[in-house]
Structure 1
Amino acid sequence: MDFNKRIDDMKDELIKSTQEILKIRSVAEEPCGEGKPFGEGVALCLETALKISEELGFKTANIDGYAGYAELGEGDEYVAVLGHLDVVPEGDGWMYPPYGAEIHDGKIYARGTLDDKGPIMAALYALKAIKDSNVKLSKRVRIIFGTNEENGSTEIEHYLSKEKPPVAGFTPDADFPIIYAEKGITMFKVVKDINIKQSSNTKINYIKGGQRPNMVPDYCEAEVVSDNTASLESCAIEFANEKGYEFKTETRDDMLIIKCYGVSAHGSTPELGKNAVMQLLSFLGTLNIGKCDAADFINFFNKYVGMEIHGESFGVYLEDEPSGKLSFNVGAINITEDKASITLNLRYPVTYKYEDMMEPFNRRIEEIGLKVEDMIHQKPLYYPENHPLIKTLQKVYAEQTGQRATLLAIGGGTYAKEMPNIVAFGPIFPGKPNLDHQVNEYIEVDDLILNAKIYAHAIYELAK
C-alpha cells in the first residue's frame, strides 16, 4: 500500500495531464448548445478531464455538461473529492502566457494552477495510486469535476438533482491543514438610476472597472469632459503621486481618459490587493460635477467605503473569534449617463446571521435611494472540532507532513457550502503565497506531488 512511491512513479504523467487541462481557457461564458451550459471553454475542459480519467482506467460520467466524475469501486455509499475546472478571467500583466502552463524554476504558471485545476488533477492521480495498489475499499470513490464554482456553484444543484451526495469527502480548493469554518458570503449589486444629470463644465461620461465581485479590481477607467483637460490631467497625476496610486492619462479633444491600475487579489482577502475602483473614485470625488445623482453615488462610496475593507464606516462591521472580521470588497463599477452600479462581495463571520449584516446595510443605502439587485448568498459553514471527518483529515495531514494539523477559518467560500459532508482541505501549504485570482498564478511541482500523496491517504482513510 505504498501510495507515495506510485505517485512518484507517475510524476511526469501527473504534470503532463495538469498542463493539458491548464491550457484550456475555461472561463464561464453564455450557454452554447446542449451539454455546454457554461460555454465552449468550460465544456472542453470537462471533456478533457473525463478523457484523461478514462485513459487512467476509471468509470466516468458527464452529467449534462454541468459536472462529471471519475469513479472507482463498488457499494451504495461513496466518498468524494470535489474540485472545479472553471477559472476566473486571467487579467493582464503575466510574466508567462496565462494558458501556456510553462514550467519555470520548478513552478507551473497558468490560470487555475492553484484554483483549482492542479489540485483536482492531483486528487485524480491520488485515486489512480489507490487503484493500482489493489487495496480493498468499503465505499466507492468519486473525483467530481465541477464547472461553475467561480460564478455561484450553480452546477452543484444540478448534480444533486441527479445524484445523491457523498457520505464524506473534501474539496482541494483552499488551504492546508483543514478548513473547519467558512464565512457567510454575499455577492450582489447596488444600483441607482441617474435622473438628475450632470450640469457642470466638468462631466464624467463613464466609469468602468473590475470583472467579478470576488476579485479585487486591478483596473478602472473614467472618461471626463473638461474645458481645461491640461489642468485636469495635471490634477490627476498630482493626486496619484500624493496617494501612491498608479494613474495613466490619455487626452482626446476636450476629453481626458484616466486609467487607474491596482493589484488583483481574491475577494475574500482584499487586504492583499489594491482596489483600482476605489482609488479612482477617490480622485473623481474631488471634481466639481455639480449637484447630481452621479456625484451622490461617488460621494456615498467615498464616504462610507473608501479604502476600508471591513465595513466600519458603512456600519456593517462584524467580528468573531473563530473566523475574524467581516470583509468588504468592491469588485466592479459601471456608471453611465443613465445608471450607476457597483458590485460588492461581503463575507461575514461564521457565528453571525445574514440579517446581522444586511439590516444595517439596507439602512445605510436608503440614504441616497440605492437598490440591491442580483443577490447571491451562501450561509456560513462551521464544523465541530471533534467531527470524524475533521479528525481523519488531521491524522492524515500530520502523518504525511510531520506538521501539526491546526484548524483554520477562511473568508473564501468553497464547495463545502454546496455539497453536504465535505470540508476544504488544501492545496496551499502554510507559509506559501495564496495566488488565487492573481496574475502569475502558479503551483510548485513539488507541492503538486505532495498534494497527490496527501489526498491518496485521505481518500483511503475515508473509504477503506
Structure 2
Amino acid sequence: MTIDFKKEVEARKEDLLADLFTLLRIKSEREDDKATKEAPFGPGPVEALEKMLEIAERDGFKTKNVDNYAGHFDYGDGEETLGIFGHLDVVPAGDGWDSDPYEPEIRNGKLYARGSSDDKGPSVAAYYAVKIIKELGLPISKKIRFVFGTDEESGWGDMDYYFEHEEKPDFGFSPDAYFPIINGEKGNVTMIPHFDGTNGTSYVLVSFEAGLRENMVPGNAVAEVKVADAETAEKVAADFKNYVENNPVSGKAEVAGTTVTLHLDGKAAHGASPQLGTNAGTFLAVFLNNYDFDKGARAFIENSAAYIHEDVYGKKLGVEFDNEKMGELTMNAGIFSFKAGQENDNRITLNFRYPKGTTAEEIKAKLEELFGSEVKVTQGGHHMLPHYVPADDPLVATLLDTFEEHTGIKGEEKVIGGGTFGRLLERGVAYGAQFPGFEDTMHQANEYMSVEDILNSAVIYADAIYRLVK
C-alpha cells in the first residue's frame, strides 16, 4: 500500500497550525514559586498538558493524565509498544524578542514563538502523524504510546514520576532534536562551586546575577558594586563603557552616589552548544576582575574570569575530554548568583555534557582540586549517563531510510550534547524535527521554526511511525 503522506498532511495544515497556535499561546515555563500538589511545576505546564490531552480526546484517542506530571494517549494494540516522547514545557522567554513570545506570528514563512522549535512545533507535527495513521485506518501490529512531558527543560521530574506509575515502551523516539537522527547523547551533569558572601572595603560586590537556566547560555548579567567615593564610581562607569565597546557585548552603567550598577548583554544559546552563545556572566566577571575585590567576592569573580570565561570545552578547568565516537566534552556556565553577606548560596552552575570515557566523579574531583578547599563543589540534581543506540539497530535503520527517501539526503548517525527524552529508553533515539542547515534558535530570543519544516517533519513522522508499527 502506497500512502501519499504529504497530501494527507497538507489536507490538515490549517488544523495542525490552529492546534499548535493554541499550545504556543500557553506560557508553560516552570515556576517553582507557583508550584502546588496539583501543579508540580507551576500552572503553565499543567495548562499545556491538559490542552494537549484535550486535543487528543477530541480526535478519539484514549488519554491518561498522570497527576499533572505527564500524560499520554494510546493507539492500537500489540505485544510491543512504540513510544513517542514530546514535551510541552519551555525555557523562560527572556529578553530581546521582536514580538510577543507567547503570541505566535508567521513572518516570511517562519513561525515565531517560544516553543515553536523546542518542542511544541515538533510534538504537534508528530501528533498529527499518528492522527493521520488513525484516520486512514492503516493496519498496525504494535501499540503506539505518545507521552507528553512537562519538565524536560529543567530536572526531568516529570519522567521520574511518570515511570514510577507507567511501564516503559519497548523502543521509540523523541521529536526534539535534528534529522537525520540522534542516536547518541552525551552524559549530562551539573557541578556547582559555592562561594561565601564576604567582601573587602575598597570595592564591595553587592550582587551579581546572570542566567535563567543551567541549560541556557546567559544572555544578560547585572552587577551592583559599591566603591569608596563618587569619583571612583564614575571611573568604573567610564571603564565599563570602554570595555563593552571593545568586546562582542553591549551594556550600560548606572551611577548613584558611590554605587555602580552594570548591565551587560551577550547572546543566549542552548547550553548543549555553548560555543554558539556569548556568556554575559563571564564577560562581566572579566571586567570586574580588573578591580581590587577581596575575600568571597574576589574568589567568585577571579574563578569566573580565569577558569570559566570562553572555556566551553573545559580546558582551563582541566576536565577536557574527547571521544572518537561521541566527540568533545562541553561546559556551559548557566547561572551566576552572588549576594553580599549571603553564606551558603553564592554559586555558579557549570553544566557539563560529557562523552563516554570520563565520569561525573572525575569531573568533580578535578574541580575540587582546582578551586581549593575554600570553595565547596556540589553536584546538581539530575545526572544522565552517556547514551548510544548502534547504527545497525532496526529502529535506527528504519528512521534513517525514511529520512533519506523523503529528502534525498544521506542519513548518518550523530551524537549530540543535548539531552532528549529519546534516552529514556534503552532503544530510544531523537528524530527531527530540525532539518540539515537550519538556524538553531532554541532557547534564544526570536525562536522560530519554518512552517514548511513543521509540515515536512509531519510527513516524515507519519511514514516512519507507520513503518515501525505496521
Please confirm whether the aligned pair reaches a TM-score higher than 0.5, indicating the same fold. Answer: yes
2:166 pairs with 1:163: yes
Cα shift at 1:188 = 3.7
Residue deviations 1:222-259, cap 9 Å, x none? 11112121111111112222334312111112211010
Deviates more, 1:352-361 or 1:94-103: 352-361
1:113-262 equivalent positions in 2, closer than 5 A: 113-194=116-197, 196-200=198-202, 202-226=203-227, 227=229, 228=231, 229-262=233-266
- Does the aligned pair in 2 maintain the 1:123–1:143 contact within 8 Å? no
How far apart in 2 are the matches of 1:277 and 1:32?
A: 28
**Structure 1 residue aligned with 2:21:** 19
Deviates more, 1:79-88 or 1:350-359: 350-359
**Structure 2 residue aligned with 1:363:** 369
Residue deviations 1:299-319, cap 9 Å, x none? 122112222211111100111
How far apart in 2 are the matches of 1:400 and 1:344?
A: 40
Cα shift at 1:32 = 4.1
How far apart in 1 are the matches of 2:365 and 2:193?
A: 15
**Structure 2 residue aligned with 1:105:** 108
How far apart in 1 are the matches of 2:70 and 2:338?
A: 36
Counterpart amino acid of 2:31?
E
- Does the aligned pair in 1 maintain the 2:189–2:379 contact within 8 Å? no
How far apart in 2 are the matches of 1:55 and 1:397?
A: 30
Counterpart amino acid of 1:87?
V
Counterpart amino acid of 1:179?
I
SS state at 1:378 partner: coil
The match for 2:383 among 355, 377, 384 is 377
SS state at 1:14 partner: helix
SS state at 2:125 partner: helix
Counterpart amino acid of 1:209?
A
**Structure 2 residue aligned with 1:77:** 80
Cα shift at 1:55 = 1.4
2:284 pairs with 1:283: no
How far apart in 1 are the matches of 2:274 and 2:358?
A: 20
Counterpart amino acid of 2:163?
L
Structure 1 stretches (4+) deviating beyond 6 angstroms? none
How far apart in 2 are the matches of 1:359 and 1:61?
A: 44
SS state at 1:187 partner: strand
**Structure 1 residue aligned with 2:318:** 315
Percent identity among equivalent residues?
A: 37
How far apart in 2 are the matches of 1:166 and 1:127?
A: 16
**Structure 1 residue aligned with 2:305:** 302
Cα 1:410–1:292 change in 2 (3 A) is same
The match for 2:327 among 324, 327, 349 is 324
Counterpart amino acid of 1:103?
I
Counterpart amino acid of 1:42?
P
Counterpart amino acid of 1:35?
E
Deviates more, 1:313-322 or 1:369-378: 369-378
SS state at 1:295 partner: helix
SS state at 2:334 partner: strand
Residue deviations 1:146-183, cap 9 Å, x none? 11100121111222122211112100111110111111
How far apart in 1 are the matches of 2:100 and 2:468?
A: 38
Provide the aligned C-alpha RMSD in A. 1.5
Cα shift at 1:7 = 1.2
Deviates more, 1:100-109 or 1:293-302: 293-302
The match for 1:410 among 397, 413, 416 is 416
Residue deviations 1:370-394, cap 9 Å, x none? 3325343110111212111111111
SS state at 2:284 partner: helix
**Structure 2 residue aligned with 1:6:** 8
How far apart in 2 are the matches of 1:268 and 1:11?
A: 32
Which structure 2 segments of 5+ residues have no match? Answer: none
How far apart in 1 are the matches of 2:37 and 2:222?
A: 38
2:74 pairs with 1:68: no
- Does the aligned pair in 1 maintain the 2:155–2:381 contact within 8 Å? no
How far apart in 1 are the matches of 2:36 and 2:258?
A: 46
Residue deviations 1:93-142, cap 9 Å, x none? 11111011111111111000110001110111001110111111111112
SS state at 1:288 partner: coil
TM-score using structure 2 length: 0.95
Deviates more, 1:386-395 or 1:361-370: 361-370
Residue deviations 1:260-300, cap 9 Å, x none? 001000001111110000000001110112x3221122112
2:272 pairs with 1:271: no
SS state at 2:251 partner: strand
Cα shift at 1:395 = 1.1
The count of residues paired between Structure 1 and Structure 2 equals 461
Counterpart amino acid of 2:237?
E
- Does the aligned pair in 2 maintain the 1:181–1:322 contact within 8 Å? no
Cα 1:337–1:373 change in 2 (3 A) is farther
Cα shift at 1:366 = 2.3
- Does the aligned pair in 2 maintain the 1:119–1:451 contact within 8 Å? yes
- Does the aligned pair in 1 maintain the 2:267–2:279 contact within 8 Å? yes
How far apart in 1 are the matches of 2:439 and 2:325?
A: 22
Cα 1:375–1:41 change in 2 (3 A) is closer
Cα shift at 1:12 = 0.7
**Structure 1 residue aligned with 2:431:** 425
How far apart in 2 are the matches of 1:389 and 1:452?
A: 18
